[in-house]
Amino acid sequence: MSKAGRSELSTELREYDREVQLLKHGCSVLQWDQETYMPPAAAEERAEQLGLFETLVHDRIADEKLGELLERAGASPENPMGSEDLPPRDRALIRVLFREHRKARRIPRELVGRMARAASTGQTVWRAARAENDFSAFKPQLEELVALAQERAELLGYEEHPYDALLDQYEPYMTTAEVTRVFEELERGLVPLVARIAEAPQIEDEFLYREFPEEVQKQFGTRVLHEIGWPAARGRLDRSTHPFTISLGRDDVRITTRYERAFFNSALFSILHEAGHALYELGFADEIRGSALADGTSLGIHESQSRFWENLVGRSRAFWTRYYPLLQETFPTALADIEHEAFYRAINKVTPSLIRVEADEVTYSLHVILRFRLETALFGGRLTPAELPDAWREESRRLLGVVPERDADGVLQDVHWSIGGFGYFPTYALGNLFAAQFTEALEQELGPLAPLLERGEFAEILAWLRRNIHAHGAARTAAELVLDITGRKLEGEPFMRYLHAKFGEIYALQ
Amino acid sequence: MSKAGRSELSTELREYDREVQLLKHGCSVLQWDQETYMPPAAAEERAEQLGLFETLVHDRIADEKLGELLERAGASPENPMGSEDLPPRDRALIRVLFREHRKARRIPRELVGRMARAASTGQTVWRAARAENDFSAFKPQLEELVALAQERAELLGYEEHPYDALLDQYEPYMTTAEVTRVFEELERGLVPLVARIAEAPQIEDEFLYREFPEEVQKQFGTRVLHEIGWPAARGRLDRSTHPFTISLGRDDVRITTRYERAFFNSALFSILHEAGHALYELGFADEIRGSALADGTSLGIHESQSRFWENLVGRSRAFWTRYYPLLQETFPTALADIEHEAFYRAINKVTPSLIRVEADEVTYSLHVILRFRLETALFGGRLTPAELPDAWREESRRLLGVVPERDADGVLQDVHWSIGGFGYFPTYALGNLFAAQFTEALEQELGPLAPLLERGEFAEILAWLRRNIHAHGAARTAAELVLDITGRKLEGEPFMRYLHAKFGEIYALQ
């Protein structure tokens, strides 16, 4: 290709991509509004609006014109980054667009419509079934959703396991085999740790359920946000039923939280969690801003950033050495009689429980492993949807030592399956692993995290994350990132080391 | 056309239109967000997003496919409602779509782009020029905007006056000749009335500038909104720099206001004004909801609804007979020592002033007549942009008896010209005229307005507006509406009768 040809092609690709990104962000505005300020009567038509906008995005990604551009760039299954004489930034963009284009071409529009309808009905039916604790009411819908996911997996294609195709939607290039490997390692470490903690003297945390006025929670959360480096002019913090982060533009990344008047943890740790996601989306390098590369490279990597700020920072003793005096001043009625150490132990209390979203740092990944085992059995043909409730109870007993009496607290607890989101769960636990492995690398370079947190040197920490992770966006895959940063593949050991050190000390384990 | 053919055509037209409406409402979500909650750093990219979405709407309206559908329906310049054997609802839709389609085809995409850029630059330059009180800084931009509007007028076409084409964008089917006729009538009535009021004893209104806490203003405004029949589940009330109303869906019409701590009128009368717009958009008949017919039939008719609730209701003595005791309870510090009658007189104080948006009911229309005269002179070739500042001063002296010392308070005061909005101003005064003429018809049917307001019978009033005005949306033109409802063409007399009765009494004129 001539230099002029390369330059023209590069411009055409970037312009094509730019329009897609503008449309995607337009969808995000509608979604954000839906979850925050939309009046109730508008819900039904908003679904129609979003359906249309998402179809416009899908059509552009599946469009032959994009296929032709990618072909001119030399992209093929054997050479997904296109011609080697193109600049690296363009080749990374080609990889992302080629991947999305091929997926979109494989899923017929008719199936996109069926999936959207099944997800919409599924969520409605699931919500009622959970409220009634009636799995049988949800079963037919679940069967349809599983069948649709199987159909999707076959159309998308996979090498070893149908679940590979589903996982790949959220964690690109990751395989079922690799997740199985690290999750088995994790399980071997976590189950005995949980058992030892269960035998240790238990922690008192009733004071976390005292009175914490919402407006004051918001003020404190906002202050922390500013101090860790969250740029207020490029985002917002609002309230929603379930906390989330969403990008409405390259300089417009919004987070939400929920406030519980009688439980401290809910708002602040969600704020830190979502801030971690937001800092990732706000940290892309200038040269990729506003393009398809300005995106989390995988949900696992995204989750590593949220877990880092929520847990490795927000649930550390050092962070509260810095902030606990201010917290006591902020909530004198609730916390005046509580020592820093007692507070630190309370926010880190470990209890095997039924509900994933309420789980602590130690047991959380076991909830994910449970779902991963059931999903791979479902799509490996070893389990039917009808057998899920029993299988759930069995895995829960084996992994967590607790058994839900009601399906509402077991197989019906999460929204994901009701909207066809099979393959999503593993990314939550992968996030924990990536976070711990990255943090060891960060500490090798910057020294131990604790003194940095005590001194409030968040800017230095954030700069390291930017340089090593955020800046690259989707231009480096998760596997490339972890290898570049840590010199190793993804593994379970750093996370287990972190848990042993932290909880061994808290629970005075031998 | 066979019955099956008519039915198929009807379905195709409705589906085509439906998608356009969903896209338009998508744009509205982005606009609403831009004016209310968008973080500051997102402004530049939001303009890009909106530009793309608006182009998608324009392209669909200009699309040949729509042209073919309309041709199949028998639409032509001689027969803009299409074939007579189509049902009336389809024929009304065809009229609106044919009109929009022909306009869109006449404006090349390239000109749409130039206009958008000129408007964007124009607004920025105007804002700075107004702040600096420097007309010469804005003049080149204004010359370009006028030239572009002239080009647009020639492309759109007109029968008598180039200004007809511009006016028609906001007030469909209205002509410059007709506006000239009613405005001349209005001027002959208003100028002497203002002069007589100026000679009467003046009204005391300093207490309107006491302390009115914002949150309390909002509570009072919200209570009034509910009582007049504004459906909270189908809308929102938020805060913005300039109050506005916008439809984000058929059940999602949002209004905004601004709160001034030290001036009572600002928030409440804006709330009533915007509620009038919103009630119109929320009152379309079921059979036209969600279609191109679910729209104000003209800006003048739209403004008649906002002015009705703001002035004929909100600035009436009867309304405050009902609400003043509650208002005093709500703002005891500010209003405890003020009688109902003194309050009523204060909110109706008449003073010829320089600024349109601060004008009272009597002088407001004179501000509009001034702009209309300058605009028609500009586009009739009798005035150049360079001559505008002097012409403004001259007209202001003639009509209002006051002359701005600074162009910032004269020719630079409004945003409209800076974004190319020539032809918009007349609709503000037309709204006053429509409102007064409609109200006479309403009173003939329901009896005098005052007792209805005193008794809080807003439901009866709203039902009358729905039945006669709102339900029809754009299915009836403004001229058809006014003739159907009042049996006469639009005229200035009802408005003058209203002003003479109200202000004759307030100022004890002979």
**A47, A193, A377, B94, B317 from B320: Cα distances, Å:** 42, 72, 71, 45, 5
Query: Catalytic positions of B, please?
Result: 274
**CB of B423 closer than 8 Å to CB of B170:** yes
- DSSP code per residue over B274-288: HHHHHHHHT---GGG
pLDDT value, residue A141: 96
A215 touches chain B (CB under 8 A): no
**CB of B302 closer than 8 Å to CB of B470:** no
**CB of A126 closer than 8 Å to CB of A138:** yes
Distance from CA of A45 to the nearest CA of B (A): 7
Please list every residue in chain A whose beta carbon sits closer than 8 Å to the beta carbon of residue B232. 39
Question: Are A249 and B53 within 8 A, CB to CB?
Answer: no
pLDDT value, residue A263: 96
Task: Count the neighbouring beta carbons within 10 Å of the beta carbon of residue A452.
Answer: 20
**CB of B171 closer than 8 Å to CB of B478:** yes
Tens of pLDDT, residues B451-484? 999 999 999 999 999 999 999 999 999 999 999 9
B124 touches chain A (CB under 8 A): no
**CB of A333 closer than 8 Å to CB of A213:** no
Indicate the helix (H) or strand (E) that contains B97: helix B88-106
CA triplet B483, B485, B489: central angle to 5 degrees? Answer: 25
Residue of B nearest to A46 (CA): B249
A49 touches chain B (CB under 8 A): yes
B16 touches chain A (CB under 8 A): no
Which of B56, B251, B282, B291 to probe the A interface (max A CBs under 10 A)?
Answer: B251
Those residues whose C-beta lies under 8 Å from the C-beta of residue B416, and which sit 6 or more positions away, are: B422, B424, B425
In degrees rounded to 5, what are phi and psi of residue B347?
-75, -5
Among candidate residues A509, A491, A492, the one with its CA nearest the CA of residue A500: A509
- Rg (chain A; Cα; Å): 23
A30 touches chain B (CB under 8 A): yes
Question: Are B252 and A25 within 8 A, CB to CB?
Answer: no
Question: Are A45 and B234 within 8 A, CB to CB?
Answer: no
Question: Are B49 and A234 within 8 A, CB to CB?
Answer: no
pLDDT at B340 over 90: yes
**A356, A388, B374 from A410: Cα distances, Å:** 10, 10, 73
Nearest-CB residue to B41 (from A32, A37, A252): A252
Mean pLDDT of B291-309: 98
Tens of pLDDT, residues B73-82? 999 999 999 9
B355 touches chain A (CB under 8 A): no
Among candidate residues A162, A155, A120, A118, the one with its CA nearest the CA of residue A140: A118
A226 touches chain B (CB under 8 A): no
pLDDT tens, chain A, 510 aa long: 788 999 999 999 999 999 999 999 999 999 999 999 999 999 989 999 999 999 999 999 999 999 999 999 999 999 999 999 999 999 999 999 999 999 999 999 889 888 988 998 899 999 999 999 999 999 999 999 999 999 999 999 999 999 999 999 999 999 999 999 999 999 999 999 999 999 999 999 999 999 999 999 999 999 999 999 999 999 999 999 999 999 999 999 999 999 999 999 999 999 999 999 999 999 999 999 999 999 999 999 999 999 999 999 999 999 999 999 999 999 999 999 999 999 999 999 999 999 999 999 999 999 999 999 999 999 999 999 999 999 999 999 999 999 999 999 999 999 999 999 999 999 999 999 999 999 999 999 999 999 999 999 999 999 999 999 999 999 999 999 999 999 999 999 999 999 999 999 999 998
Nearest-CB residue to A235 (from B33, B39, B254): B39
> Active-site residue among A274, A281, A303, A310?
A274
DSSP state of A108: -
Tens of pLDDT, residues B131-164? 999 999 999 999 999 999 999 999 999 999 999 9
Which of B16, B29, B57 to probe the A interface (max A CBs under 10 A)?
Answer: B29
pLDDT at B116 over 90: no
Question: Are B39 and A236 within 8 A, CB to CB?
Answer: yes
B33 touches chain A (CB under 8 A): yes
Distance from CA of A470 to the nearest CA of B (A): 19
Q: What tokens appear for B320 in the block? A: 């405050």
Beta strand pairing call for A245-249 and B235-239: unpaired
B410 touches chain A (CB under 8 A): no
Question: Are A236 and B19 within 8 A, CB to CB?
Answer: no
Distance from CA of B22 to the nearest CA of A (A): 6
pLDDT at B1 over 90: no
Query: Which pLDDT band holds residue B90 (cuts at 50, 70, 90)?
Result: very high
Distance from CA of B18 to the nearest CA of A (A): 10
Distance from CA of B151 to the nearest CA of A (A): 29
**CB of A170 closer than 8 Å to CB of A480:** no
- DSSP code per residue over A276-338: HHHHHHT---GGGTTSTTSS-S-HHHHHHHHHIIIIIITTSHHHHHHHHHHHHHHSHHHHTT-
Question: Are B41 and A248 within 8 A, CB to CB?
Answer: no
Specify the length of chain A in residues. Answer: 510
B37 touches chain A (CB under 8 A): yes
Place of tokens 């001689």: B78
Please list every residue in chain B whose beta carbon sits closer than 8 Å to the beta carbon of residue A32. 33
pLDDT value, residue B230: 98
DSSP state of B76: B
Question: Are A251 and B290 within 8 A, CB to CB?
Answer: no
Question: Are B49 and A235 within 8 A, CB to CB?
Answer: no
Nearest-CB residue to B252 (from A26, A39, A238): A39
**CB of A248 closer than 8 Å to CB of A254:** yes
Chain centroid offset of residue A386 CA? 28
pLDDT at B494 over 90: yes
| Statement: the pTM of the whole predicted model exceeds 0.90 | yes
In degrees rounded to 5, what are phi and psi of residue B235?
-175, -175
Percentage, residues of chain B above pLDDT 90 = 95
- A:B CB pairs within 8 Å: 101
pLDDT value, residue B416: 96
pLDDT at B305 over 90: yes
In degrees rounded to 5, what are phi and psi of residue A293?
-80, -15
Please list every residue in chain B whose beta carbon sits closer than 8 Å to the beta carbon of residue A52. 19, 22-23, 26
The CA distance from B488 to B467, in Å, is: 18
